[in-house]
Homo-oligomer: A and B are copies of this chain.
């Protein structure tokens, strides 16, 4: 028995199916109250030992945005160099970030040195602190999409360079760079699948021990 209705359960599956990594944004601004509402979901995320290790930096100034965009372009050019033939051709045509246009950009870090939670649950697997940040990002992603916003996660970045350029504390590790704004279009099919880069499996195998 669940306190959540079947309609809600169906809606949740629909949201997950439709979520997408959005890379094509309109440039019109995002209302600050809406952004705050979405960011409030971070406080509802699970975290190891209640450590809440997420740290959010808004990349807002022209200098910070230019540094992040240059970082992506350099890392993306290096990545392209690693592909040959048809893969290189497809890669060069992919749009892999909305960093040029997205009105809101957030760099999300994990504070590896936080004393909150007193280390509970992170003794044998300290990486669970970073996983807590990923869980929070996932919730933020789902809720932002439910509110109609688009979100894209950029991982083609040199984290050390970004931390240096944004003057980030030494103990913070970059987990995600998020582009947020109003999507140009919606699609239920991932851009990488549309472009012929990769196909999803659509089934979930389970082994047993």
Interface residues of A (CB under 8 A from B): 1-5, 8-9, 11-13, 15-17, 19, 21, 39-46, 48-52, 54-61, 64, 75, 78-79, 82-83, 87, 91, 96, 106-107, 116-125, 127-128, 130-131, 134-135, 137-139, 141-143, 146-148, 153, 155-159, 166-167, 174-176, 190, 192-193, 197-209
In the assembled complex, the CB of A61 is this many whole angstroms from the nearest CB of chain B, namely 6
Say yes or no: B128 contacts A131, CB within 8 Å: no
Copy count, this protein chain: 2
Partner of A1, one of B21, B124, B148: B148
Residues of B within 8 A of A128 (CB): 155
Contact of A91 among B51, B120, B158 (CB under 8 A): B120
- With A and B bound together, what is the CA distance between A131 and B175 in angstroms? 9
Contact A2 B146 (CB under 8 A): yes
- A13: B residues at CB distance < 8 A: 41, 44, 143
Query: B155 and A48: CB pair below 8 A?
Result: yes
A2 contacts across to B, CB distance below 8 A: 146-148
Which chain B residue lies CB-closest to A148? B2
22 contacts between A and B (CB under 8 A): A1-B148, A3-B148, A4-B147, A9-B146, A17-B44, A43-B201, A46-B141, A49-B198, A56-B204, A57-B206, A60-B209, A75-B123, A78-B123, A79-B124, A96-B120, A121-B155, A122-B155, A124-B159, A125-B174, A135-B135, A138-B138, A139-B142
